[in-house]
Chain A
Amino acid sequence: MPPCSAKNNNRLSDSMTRPNEHHVPSRRQILGFVFASPLFIAAGTGTSVLFCSGAHAATSPQGAADFVQWLADQALKVLRSPNASMSDRERILRELLASGFDLKFIGRFVLGRTWRKLSPAQRDAYIKVYSTFFLNTYSARFGGYNGQKFTVLSARGAGKKDAVVKTRIDRPGGAPLTSDWRIRANQNEFRIIDISVEGVSMAVTQRSEFASVIKNSGIEGLMAALRARTDKMPVMTSN
């Protein structure tokens, strides 16, 4: 996995002037963020996503925009490679997704208040299952896109620590799709912590879905459902 550093070393200087954006967020800040903003994730309906861990230093809007563009370039490279099998594409996309998204942060967010009730071991197990669920679902979903044009439209600061990058994806035979990518620089790496597609935060949607599963069948029921979704067999490609 090539780091973003080669392209973005010039951003390192930003970190010197923005040290505040690199401390570990306090509980109050995390809660503030959670209540203040719709968080999240990938597009169900046709976004092509992409990611890598950047060597960027700060969540400057420009840096975040470069990061999103870099990820898009990486993903489109995979998606357009003519000789790669679907399972290869999806495997590489999984790696891109894993390094581009802050899965721990997102997994915690979508669990809502239940997170606080879990033991450290349960949290570990949940994050592992959630991450696999996330990566399998979205690598499969994005693995099929190859005809898109991806354009970064704008980027702005958001809250104290984040940047939001607005993008448009032009799809053959479909209306263009606009997405807001919420990016946070942490420990010198950019990570996606939210995607809103056409204004709908996937995190918020997922959080309410999870809440209803937990209400009916507890955290174990949620884990079982996530495991079952994670565990499905893929397309058969031979007779």
Chain B
Amino acid sequence: MKYLKRTRPGSPTQLVAVALLVIAFGHTATTAKADFAAGVVAYEKADFITALKEWTAAAETGDAKAQYNLGVLHDEGKGVDLDHSAAVKWWSMAAKNGLAVAQHNLASAYIAGDGVKKNHRKAGSWLQKSADQGLARSQYTLGKMYGYGMGVPKHDAQAAFWIGKAAEQGDMRAQYNMGKILRDGKGMEKNLAESVDWFIRAAKQGHVRAQAKLGKRYAAGAGIKRNDVMALKWSLLAAQNGNVAAIENVKTLKRRLSGKSITDASRQARLWTPIQENN
């Protein structure tokens, strides 16, 4: 650019230089985009060697998504020997470029100590960035970290806030946790009816422990009108997945329910299928 300053504005030399710069950078951006797309096509065909090559080309020009994807290939050992520290290197680059998914995976590596020394504080600070960008999975994890005081100060209201954000986005684990938070009044005011609403949302998505809790709530009439058939239905669904509390609840309910109610609940449980919320 110094060269440009030395020439008169609007001189032919400057115009040529600007044109060249535009072509050079414009071309690089287009190429990176094409490389990224070519990498995706190869990846979908399970041709990881080509995906690796294409994404490396794009990553070297600063394409954060390509950098991130290279991290995943190294992390899963696709097209390359499994190498967690290489994954961390690529994710760090993409994370610094502001990519939320990369910030999230980098935080995961810091929590697990995969490819990098375990560091909960760094994990918390990356999660804060990706959570701020709206990534539900990060919001949930950050909320749990506030709950445990892991890498961030223990803070129940912050925990409830972030878990609530993820729950609203449809994350079923977050929804289940909201059910517990509102049941216990931990970090926000206790509200049994709202607590049940979250258990219902998580249970409908197939969250087993939420189904078990919902079964108990229907049986006890806690936060929701008592309904033994619904209690048995949800308990049966959780019990099928080996939930110990639900197995006990099924036994208790079967002792007190009529044959017709049991048949009814069993039929409803059999016909049930999970409906995932978009997230």
Tell me the A residues contacting B by CB distance below 8 Å.
Answer: 44-45, 79, 82, 85-86, 89, 104, 120-121, 124, 127-128, 140-141, 143-146, 224-229, 231-239
Q: Which of B124-151 contact A (CB under 8 A)?
A: 135, 137, 141, 150
B122 within 8 A of A: no
Question: A44-B77, A232-B104, A235-B69 in contact; A86/B46 too (CB < 8 A)?
Answer: yes
Kindly provide the distance from the CB of B218 to the nearest chain A CB, expressed in whole angstroms. 21
The answer on a CB contact under 8 Å between B244 and A124 is yes
B 147-167 to A, binary, CB cutoff 8 A, 1 in contact else 0: 000100000000000000000
Contacts of A229 in B (CB 8 A): 108, 112, 114
B113 within 8 A of A: yes
Contacts of A225 in B (CB 8 A): 111-113
B199 within 8 A of A: no
The answer on a CB contact under 8 Å between B43 and A224 is no
The answer on a CB contact under 8 Å between A44 and B43 is no
Kindly provide the distance from the CB of B66 to the nearest chain A CB, expressed in whole angstroms. 9
Report the bound CA distance from A128 to B206 in whole Å. Answer: 13
Candidates A121, A128, A237; contact of B43 at CB < 8 Å: A237
Candidates B36, B65, B78, B113; contact of A144 at CB < 8 Å: B78
Kindly provide the distance from the CB of A172 to the nearest chain B CB, expressed in whole angstroms. 11
The answer on a CB contact under 8 Å between B69 and A233 is no
The answer on a CB contact under 8 Å between A140 and B76 is yes
B212's nearest neighbour on chain A, judged by CB, is: A124
Report the bound CA distance from A226 to B111 in whole Å. Answer: 9
The answer on a CB contact under 8 Å between A239 and B37 is yes
The answer on a CB contact under 8 Å between B82 and A233 is no
Contacts of A146 in B (CB 8 A): 46
B76's nearest neighbour on chain A, judged by CB, is: A140
The answer on a CB contact under 8 Å between B101 and A233 is yes
Kindly provide the distance from the CB of A189 to the nearest chain B CB, expressed in whole angstroms. 15
Q: 6 A-B Cβ contacts within 8 A?
A: A44-B77, A86-B46, A140-B76, A225-B113, A232-B105, A233-B104
